[in-house]
Amino acid sequence: MPAPAPGADPGTGRIVLAATPIGNVGDASARLVELLGSSDIIAAEDTRRLHRLVQALGVEVSGRVISYHEHNEATKTGELLDQVRGGKNILMVSDAGMPAVSDPGFRLVEGAVEAGLTVTAVPGPSAVLTALALSGLPTDRFCFEGFLPRKSGERNSRLGELAGERRTMVFFEAPHRLEVMLRALHERFGADRRAAVCRELTKTYEEVIRGSLRELLEWAEGNEVRGEIAVVVGGAPEQDAAKPEDHVAAVNELVAQGIRLKEAVAAVADDLRISKRELYAAVLAAR
């Protein structure tokens, strides 16, 4: 067991964030199997999926299983922290991959850190890193953007902010929204930007489609896409990075929210590290 966090009572328990398989149950680590059988409490995003996992692994759970998800995190976190203070060891698992990464767990870690309680992790499967590695795109610098906003205005604003991003970007998307997402990427990043759609990673029907955004959009339009999706997009070429005209939509979105034009320009320009004067001129030229 790791040493207690600074300020923690040596008699307290600990929280362990454990990665679970993203598809192939054979990817479960020996440490995950051991902790599933020995932890005092297992906080699971979906108790039914946990039940299927332990059955597949042949594990007998001896501790108490509780549901811990986005809808009850706020109310359950304090209770779990009290259990740790009382000496209990808590295992936190999400449906797939690492808790707290586009999954429940952040509130629990945040609360534990503030309380000086011990938090550690059992690393393992990650859809983000698996998709990145299989994409064929640069992996030396990347960022994870999670799910894009569903509303078109908010989505376009976010993509406007990312149009000049030089790092490889990893997104998650639901299969029924993939075509809409790819069309938005095509419009904001350009038809020739390289990307990859990674579907059902580590599962029986794993598929990675690589090509330009134009090619991927055409593929999505002609197929009924199913399964869990990660989309990896190459960063902006140096000559295309952070062009002021690419970020007019982000400024207009802020103006539509009631922010004064000059303040909106300053906010977007500071965030993207581009010229306020050039961005202001681009906004006026577009009107």
Q: What is the 3-state secondary structure (H, E, C) of 222-261?
A: CCCCCCCEEEEECCCCHHHCCCHHHHHHHHHHHHHCCCCH
21/61 Cα distance (integer angstroms):
18
Residues sharing a CB contact under 8 Å with residue 128, sequence separation 6 or more, in sequence order: 97, 101, 144, 170, 230
pLDDT tens string 34-49: 999 999 999 999 999 9
Residue 95: per-residue pLDDT: 94
**What is the structure's pLDDT at 4?**
45
Handedness of CA 204, 211, 153, 258 (dihedral sign): positive
Query: How far apart are the C-alpha atoms of 27 and 19, rounded to whole Å?
Result: 10
Residues in CB range of 239: below 8 A, 6 or more apart? none
* 204: its two tokens: 């029986």
Residue 11's pLDDT is what? 57
Q: What are phi and psi of 117, to 5 degrees?
A: -95, 160
List, for residues 136-167, the tens digit of each pLDDT value: 999 999 999 999 999 998 999 899 889 889 99
Q: Between 243 and 144, where is the model more confident?
A: 144
CA quadruple 85, 89, 95, 100: dihedral sign: positive
